[in-house]
């Protein structure tokens, strides 16, 4: 059974969409990731145009991060003030990101740029997950406990415009979070990701936020950043496909909840290593598409009046 997507202007198998959303949702629930970094390339692989894949992914992430934030919010693990400061940067970043995106569409280089960005992102994610999980597995075998530094004092504490963030027990300049938000905004708008994978380490290492507050706060700000990106794409690139988003959201929300349940029952490291391999596999496929001479070196696109 297939469904016609009004914005992508093609029909796809409905079960393919549901299983794609379900699997990405499951992985995101299991590992506490947004899943956008897998959703966008997989949508492109099944033939969805790049611009629609990016814009619709952003819409889908809104739903999955709301699901995630609620749990953290109830436990008081969201630093709304920090989230708000990050959002100031993210606001301008995503406006710039959507502008860059529509320019790249106009000159016909969007596919290439997205491929290169995704290759870099997925290789980074995949390798770091693989190294981290294999380290944990090795340490477990050696019965060694890993000591972690809780608080980092660095250059972020010496800049002007210092503000007190009570929830995170921090007194730092608002410049670093604004810059981090700005970069995440650009990436979110151009790649259709929430950016948690970059945001979380940045919040821990650059801002020195306590680990317990990081996930809830990043999810909280991802809701707003992806919401903004959705609106910006809907109004400038006209690439948000509501029908596609609906099926992806429905299946990913269910998948995410199942993933959360599964995460409590299964041992994480081995599965994390497996996910790392899947991520690296997707990265390899993207790299091959760029490096191997394509069968058809010409590609055709119908010019729409909006660009």
Partner 1 sequence: MIRQLIILFYILIGALTPSISIALVIGSDQEEIYIDANFSGEELLVFGAFYSDPSQSRDSKSDILIEVVGPLEDVALRKKDSYFGFWLNSKSVTFRDVPGFYYLSSTSELTDEFLATNQIGLLEKKKSEMIDWSSLTTDWGSVVNDKEKEEFYNALIRTKQDDNLYKQVSDEIEIIDGNLFRSYIDIPNTVPVGEYNVNLHLIIDNEISQEYSYNFMVTRVGIEEAIYSFSKNYPFFYGLISLIIAIIIGWSGAEIFKRFRKV
> Residue 12 in contact with residue 5, Cβ under 8 Å?
yes
φ/ψ of 99, rounded to 5, equals: -65, -45
Shortest separation between residue 1's beta carbon and partner 1, angstroms: 8
Q: Which residues are paired to 164 by β-bridges?
A: 171
Quote the CA–CA distance of 135 and 156 in Å, as a whole number. Answer: 29
Task: Give the DSSP letter string of 125-183.
Answer: HHHHHHHHHHHHHHHHHHT-PPP------SGGGTSSSEEEETTTTEEEESHHHHHHHHH
Contact with partner 1 (CB under 8 A): which of 11, 19, 211, 212? Answer: 11
Q: What tokens does 195 get?
A: 């950016």
Least distance to partner 1, CB of residue 224, Å: 11
Please pick, from the candidates 51, 57, 67, 218, the single residue that binds partner 1 as defined by CB under 8 A. 67
Judged by beta carbon, residue 51 or residue 64, the one nearer partner 1 is 64
Q: Smaller CB distance to partner 1: residue 163 or 242?
A: 242
Q: Which of residues 100-159 bind partner 1 (CB under 8 A)?
A: 108-109, 111-112
Asked if residues 33 and 260 have their Cβ atoms less than 8 Å apart, the reply is no
What count of Cα atoms within 13 Å lies in the side-chain half-sphere of residue 170?
Answer: 31
**Using the rule CB under 8 A, is 199 a contact of partner 1?**
no
Considering only the stretches 120-128, 183-191, 271-279, 284-292, report the one whose residues sit in contact with partner 1 under the rule CB under 8 A: 284-292
Decide: is 249 part of the binding site for partner 1 (CB under 8 A): yes
In the set 28, 50, 59, 218, which binds partner 1 (CB under 8 A)? 59
Taking each helix axis as running N to C, give the angle between helix 110-142 and helix 36-45, from 0 to 180 degrees, rounded to the nearest 10. Answer: 130
In angstroms, rounded to a whole number, what is the distance separating the alpha carbons of residues 37 and 40? 6
Instruction: Write down the least CB distance from residue 226 to partner 1, Å.
Output: 9
The residue among 106 and 163 lying less far from partner 1, judged by its C-beta, is 106
238 scored as a contact of partner 1 (CB under 8 A): yes
Q: Interface with partner 1 by CB under 8 A: which residues?
A: 2-4, 6-7, 9-11, 59-60, 62-68, 70-71, 108-109, 111-112, 227, 230-235, 238, 240, 242-243, 245-246, 249-250, 253-254, 256-257, 260-261, 290-294, 296-303
């Amino acid at each position: 059974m297939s469904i016609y997507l009004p914005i992508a202007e093609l029909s796809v198998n409905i079960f393919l969409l549901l299983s794609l959303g379900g699997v990405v949702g499951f992985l995101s629930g299991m590992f506490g990731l947004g899943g956008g970094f897998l959703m966008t390339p997989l949508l492109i692989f099944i033939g969805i145009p790049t611009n629609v894949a990016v814009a619709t992914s952003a819409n889908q992430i809104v739903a999955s991060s709301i699901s995630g934030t609620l749990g953290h919010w109830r436990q008081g693990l969201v630093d709304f003030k920090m989230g708000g400061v990050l959002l100031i940067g993210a606001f301008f970043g995503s406006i710039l990101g959507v502008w860059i995106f529509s320019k790249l569409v106009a000159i016909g280089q969007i596919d290439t740029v997205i491929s290169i960005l995704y290759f870099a992102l997925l290789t980074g994610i995949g390798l770091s997950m693989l190294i981290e999980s294999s380290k944990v597995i090795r340490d477990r075998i050696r019965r060694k406990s890993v000591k972690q530094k809780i608080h980092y004092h660095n250059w972020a504490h010496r800049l002007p415009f210092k503000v007190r963030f009570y929830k995170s027990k921090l007194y730092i300049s608002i410049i670093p979070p604004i810059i981090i938000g700005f970069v995440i905004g650009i990436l979110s708008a151009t790649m259709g990701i929430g950016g948690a994978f970059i945001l979380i380490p940045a919040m821990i290492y650059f801002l020195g936020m306590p680990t317990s507050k990081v996930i809830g706060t990043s999810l909280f700000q991802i809701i707003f950043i992806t919401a903004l990106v959705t609106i910006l794409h809907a109004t400038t690139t006209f690439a948000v496909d509501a029908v596609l988003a609906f099926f992806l959201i429905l299946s990913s929300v269910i998948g995410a909840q199942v993933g959360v349940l599964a995460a409590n029952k299964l041992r994480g490291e081995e599965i994390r290593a497996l996910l790392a391999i899947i991520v690296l596999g997707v990265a390899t496929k993207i790299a091959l598409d760029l490096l191997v001479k394509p069968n058809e070196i010409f590609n055709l696109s119908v010019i729409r009046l909006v660009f």
